[in-house]
Structure 1
Amino acid sequence: MLLFMGRYVRIVDAVNYRMGRIMMYFIFVMVAILLWSSISKTFFLPSLWTLELAQFAMVAYYILGGPYSMQQGAHVRMDLFYGGWSDKKKAQIDAITVLFLIFYLGVMLYGAYDSTSYSFQYGERSPTAWRPYLWPIKVVMCFGIFMMLLQSISELFKDIATLKGVEL
């Protein structure tokens, strides 16, 4: 079982690490879109697509960067008590709380899949003047939630290994 957990952690962590490092530079895509928006509003006709595309880019940025953030321990945590606990106590608490996160992400993934399939089935479009199809960003959201779910399970396995005194 520990062999499976070790392989799982290595594979999921490697995929999310690479994806997170790539998404880290996605901020420049958003800056370029918003820069073009400013330039086009000042010197040309305003672009209809810039604000919505920037929003889509932001969604991809934080949804696909979330697993990397969790892996690196860069997410928000209440350190009032947590900071003073031993590694085993932290692993105990994290192993319990990550179960709630896994449940939440499972519900989110179910809803995201349902919404994405609806979007594909009916050709759902945004109600703005640009009217882009919504399925591409919904697919990104499903993938990001799925990867966050895999990373949460990886974190659970790391906590279990810490409690057993084993290093994965």
Structure 2
Amino acid sequence: MGKALRLFVRTVDSFNLWVGRFAMNLLYVMGAIMVYAICSRLFLGQPVNWVMEMSQFLLAAYYLLGGAYSFQLDAHVRMDLFYGRLSPRRRAMTDVFTILFVLFYLGVLIYGGLSSTEYAWSFNQKNYTSWAPPMWPIKAIMTFGIFLMLLQAISALIKDVAIVRGKPIA
């Protein structure tokens, strides 16, 4: 594999590692928000109306920003009836074939995410709740997470092709 492809793989992998580790900490933020809501209700007698929505937004960000990291670690769920018995080269060949479907799917998701984010930005879309937060920030984060997943899928494709060719990228 060429130097440019190796650099791409290393850059994508290191960036997604950093983003994934950052996303892990969003659970602590979500927990702190929930504790604040409980304390506000119990000790001050004032319920907070934005907590559930904010925790949903943080969970969506956690899930989508951590998706590429999970993909990088090969931690996604897969049907392993025959795959585990294959040699590393045959696994890579299988992955090269199946990753094409993943790339198509992620491309469609990015198209929809960009369209939805642009709509939310253009029309100042707000959620239909009493808090009524703008929707474009979470939609932009979700689209960015899908984009990172696409980059990680391309990185995985490059690594699998290298394995098939007998020259793995470390």
Q: 1:65 maps to what in 2? A: 66
Distance, in Å, in 2 between the alignment partners of 1:120 and 1:26 is: 24
Counterpart contact for 1:123–1:133, Cα < 8 Å: yes
Q: 2:162 maps to what in 1? A: 161
Q: Give the partner amino acid of 1:40.
A: S
Q: 2:136 maps to what in 1? A: 135
Per-residue deviation, 1:166: 0.8
Instruction: Specify the SS of the correspondent of 2:85.
Output: coil
Name whichever of 155-164 and 21-30 sits farther off.
21-30
Q: 2:5 maps to what in 1? A: 5
Per-residue deviation, 1:163: 0.2
Distance, in Å, in 1 between the alignment partners of 2:168 and 2:104 is: 26
Q: Give the partner amino acid of 2:157.
A: L
Q: 1:20 maps to what in 2? A: 20
Distance, in Å, in 1 between the alignment partners of 2:104 and 2:74 is: 20
Name whichever of 79-88 and 104-113 sits farther off.
79-88
The number of equivalent residue pairs is 168
Give the number of the structure whose residues are more often helix, by fraction.
1
Q: 1:52 maps to what in 2? A: 53
Q: Give the partner amino acid of 1:100.
A: F
Distance, in Å, in 2 between the alignment partners of 1:149 and 1:76 is: 17
Distance, in Å, in 1 between the alignment partners of 2:82 and 2:37 is: 46
TM-score, normalisation: structure 2: 0.95
Structure 2 stretches lacking a partner, 5+ long: none
TM-score, normalisation: structure 1: 0.97
Percent sequence identity over aligned pairs: 46
Instruction: Specify the SS of the correspondent of 1:23.
Output: helix
